[in-house]
Copies of this chain bind each other. A is one copy, B any other.
């Protein structure tokens, strides 16, 4: 199933020494994209590719014109005025692949291009990042049945999983303007909440602030309005994946979400990882996508042999927490949960095929969230709402504090990586965000 080429060879090493260290997230087999600048220098955001502890500055590299053919076209597409990747994303799979191959060869141990590239390296420690594309539209899905079931029990005890769930990859539109990269700090939202037993709401800072551990899907080549992307085309239209934290105010959500869905409970902040791991880098980690026994087969537009054979991706997801106290005491972050994206009830190709089946036009740089990724066991849940049973069973953190929902100063860190025997780890970096106190009115 997997479509592998020389860039996936596990034996490859790089002349960038840190890319060869055991446990690095950015070996030469990864080559994730980000948009960055040297810290403290205004302006000048530009695209880069992660390699070990360095970033290869693609704007700087483009000046040297090191590549020929399609790779040269690809590099030029990366070098746009604002630094964002939309034009490169729109260029399509062949173009992405040509640049990956050229970069893989140029960064390999013994490459004659080493001199040409060495001047374009920037240490990641000296960089700051921004959202890597102009996000035209942001959509969030609800693709984990374990999450949907557990949360459904809390919001609708008599009706946890809607009758449509196993047929429709449920999704809704989200807010693009409040999406920020790792390091985002946002104020606790104010809003209407309905105190227990009350008939009138009060205006208050959210008391049930939560995170949601998701993957983000970056669209590459889109579709014209009125056309659709078929399931087996969808893989080649997706540029790559990132981490995504869909911060959620559960008390605001419970009061506002009927009948048109979440709104102010979600749109105050969304934190993504700056790094985009390409679908080509993830190719070795495709796994079969299976329906649980007895569940209906999807409608034809969501079902194909190819998709069943390898539509899922085995990506480990980890959620960590630090607090003011843990940071003061220099405690290691608490691991709140771990799971794999392979458990998702709907896979990324299905999300794209569904989104466009009515003719809705997707565009390069659109971002799709997968919805909270919770695994089959309660410990694998991707939100505090699930881990604490709606705030009824506090978690005790290793340094002694308890948490039901997030406190001011809390920092949630998402991490993800792919690993398997005989293959270097392919990492996503992290998406960290911190809760600030609510704004005084």
Chain A residues with CB under 8 Å of chain B are 136-137, 139, 142, 152, 155-156, 162-164, 167-168, 170-178, 180, 186-187, 189-192, 194, 199-203, 225-228, 249, 252, 255-264, 267-269, 296, 299-301, 354-355, 357-363, 366, 436, 439
Residue pair B269, A225 in contact (C-beta under 8 Å): yes
Given contacts A226-B187, A359-B190, contact A261 B260 (CB under 8 A): yes
Taking the closest CB of chain B, its distance from the CB of A181, in whole angstroms, is 13
Query: In whole angstroms, how far apart are the Cα atoms of A166 and B209 in the complex?
Result: 25
Contact in complex: B358, A225 (CB < 8 Å) = no
Give the complex CA separation of A178 and B360 in angstroms.
Answer: 7
A-B pairs with beta carbons under 8 Å apart, 17 shown: A137-B175, A156-B259, A163-B199, A164-B255, A164-B256, A167-B201, A168-B192, A170-B263, A173-B173, A173-B263, A177-B366, A180-B225, A189-B359, A190-B359, A252-B358, A257-B261, A359-B439
Q: Which residue of B lies closest to A262 (CB)?
A: B260
Copy count, this protein chain: 2
| A-B contacts besides A173-B173, A187-B226, 19 pairs, CB < 8 Å | A167-B192, A167-B201, A172-B261, A172-B262, A172-B263, A173-B263, A177-B225, A177-B366, A178-B360, A189-B358, A190-B228, A191-B357, A225-B268, A225-B269, A226-B268, A260-B262, A261-B261, A264-B357, A269-B359
A228: chain B residues within 8 A (beta carbon)? 190, 439
A358 to B255, CA, bound (A): 14
Instruction: State whether B173 touches A175 (Cβ < 8 A).
Output: yes
Please, which residues of chain B bring their CB within 8 A of the CB of A259?
152, 155-156, 162, 170, 257, 261
Name the one of B177, B201, B257, B296 contacting A360, with C-beta atoms under 8 angstroms.
B177
Interface centre among A186, A191, A227, A358 (most CB of B within 10 A): A358
Chain B residue with Cβ nearest A266: B173
In whole angstroms, how far apart are the Cα atoms of A186 and B227 in the complex?
A: 10
